[in-house]
């Protein structure tokens, strides 16, 4: 199957990511429908030309006509949804997700999924601090990474299909990682940073500090406003990889603490120079 304007797309769950997908794809001229719990979200999506139709129930007609089903739910809810409704899917349909951890999920879904439907997993590395369709915005995909995480069960066709989906959504960079490499990378780049932001926000609860805050503290804690249900689930889904990154961070933090305590100025400066040069690699490329 090739992604084109006749591809019938169904998005399940119009949250901040599902809503962004709907907006980006509809803008490009794709026919997008949705299944999402609240009728008011469907109304919002219709008014904003994000979908051409939708249902607050898992309508078998909507499921069975779709060539591509993108399920934008939390990890466990995604697994449960597929178990329950795969029976309605069209033979040859492609199933895709947006979950932020892959290891457990991809293998599990591929193990119970019908043989005539293919699940190709991907992680759009873009989000917002707020949840809900009214915060969805396809512009967050610009400059962001879209990572496809195939297994040996996936076909080349589905992998290519999924990559072209990432391109159509407007992501700057499309790449491929194994589910395991993806999870280790995400434990460091995304989950550890959220743990740090939360810890920073809760480790000193003295009153009135906000009066003196500058941009550094604001930057480090922007993501401390966090969806507790989603992130605790993501952390637990990726527990071993995250624990390993947390332990490496704690060890390095203690090393720096001891340098400070011992007045080892040159040791600290060396860490800072390494940090400065490594951070250069992570600069955002200039956007058009």
- Please choose, from the candidates 115, 59, 120, the residue with its C-alpha nearest in 3D space to the C-alpha of residue 92: 115
189 sits near a copy of itself (criterion: CB under 8 A)? yes
Residue 147 binds a copy of itself, judged by CB under 8 A: yes
Which of 6, 111, 261, 287 binds a copy of itself (CB under 8 A)? It is 261
- Is there binding between residue 125 and a copy of itself (CB under 8 A)? yes
Q: Compare residues 88 and 231 and give the one whose CB is closer to a copy of itself.
A: 231
Residue 188 per-residue DSSP state: I
Report DSSP state, residue 141: G
Under rule CB under 8 A, residue 139 binds a copy of itself: no
Nearer to a copy of itself, 111 or 204 (CB): 204
Burial environment of residue 143 by CB neighbours within 10 A (0 to 12, 13 to 18, 19 or more):
middle
Q: From CA 125, how far away is CA 141, in angstroms rounded?
A: 8
Residues 162-181 within binding reach of a copy of itself (CB under 8 A): 173, 175, 177
Q: Which of 5, 115, 152, 202 binds a copy of itself (CB under 8 A)?
A: 202
CA proximity to 153, closest of 100, 97, 114: 114
Which value, in Å, is the radius of gyration of the alpha carbons in the chain? 21
Shorter beta-carbon distance to a copy of itself: residue 155 or 175: 175
Inter-CA distances, 96 with 28, 69, 150, 166, 281, Å = 19, 6, 11, 11, 31
**135 vs 235, beta carbon nearer a copy of itself:** 235
Question: CB of residue 165 vs a copy of itself: minimum separation in angstroms?
Answer: 18
């Amino acid at each position: 199957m090739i992604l084109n304007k006749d591809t019938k797309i169904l998005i399940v769950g119009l949250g901040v990511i599902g809503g962004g997908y709907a907006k980006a794809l509809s803008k490009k001229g794709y026919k997008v429908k949705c299944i999402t719990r609240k009728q008011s979200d469907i109304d919002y999506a219709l008014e904003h030309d994000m979908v051409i139709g939708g249902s607050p129930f898992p309508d078998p007609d909507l499921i069975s006509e779709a060539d591509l089903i993108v399920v934008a739910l939390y990890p466990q809810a995604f697994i449960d949804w597929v178990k329950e409704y795969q029976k309605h899917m069209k033979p040859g349909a492609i199933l895709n997700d947006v979950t932020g951890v892959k290891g457990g999920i991809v293998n599990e879904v591929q193990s119970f999924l019908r043989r005539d439907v293919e699940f190709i997993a991907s992680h759009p590395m873009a989000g917002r601090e707020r949840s809900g369709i009214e915060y969805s915005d396809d512009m967050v995909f610009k400059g962001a990474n879209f990572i496809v995480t195939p297994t040996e069960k996936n076909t080349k066709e589905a992998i290519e299909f999924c990559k072209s989906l990432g391109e159509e959504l407007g992501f700057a960079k499309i790449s491929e990682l194994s589910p395991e490499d993806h999870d280790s990378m995400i434990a460091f780049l995304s989950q550890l940073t959220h743990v740090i932001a939360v810890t920073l926000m809760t480790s000193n609860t003295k009153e009135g500090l906000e009066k003196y805050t500058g941009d550094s503290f604001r930057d480090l804690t922007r993501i401390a406003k966090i969806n507790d249900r989603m992130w605790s689930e993501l952390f637990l889904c990726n527990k071993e990889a995250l624990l390993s990154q947390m332990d490496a961070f704690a060890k390095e933090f203690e090393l720096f603490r001891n340098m400070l305590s011992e007045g080892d100025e040159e040791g600290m400066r060396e860490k800072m120079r390494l940090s400065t040069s490594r951070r250069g690699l992570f600069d955002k490329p200039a956007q058009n």
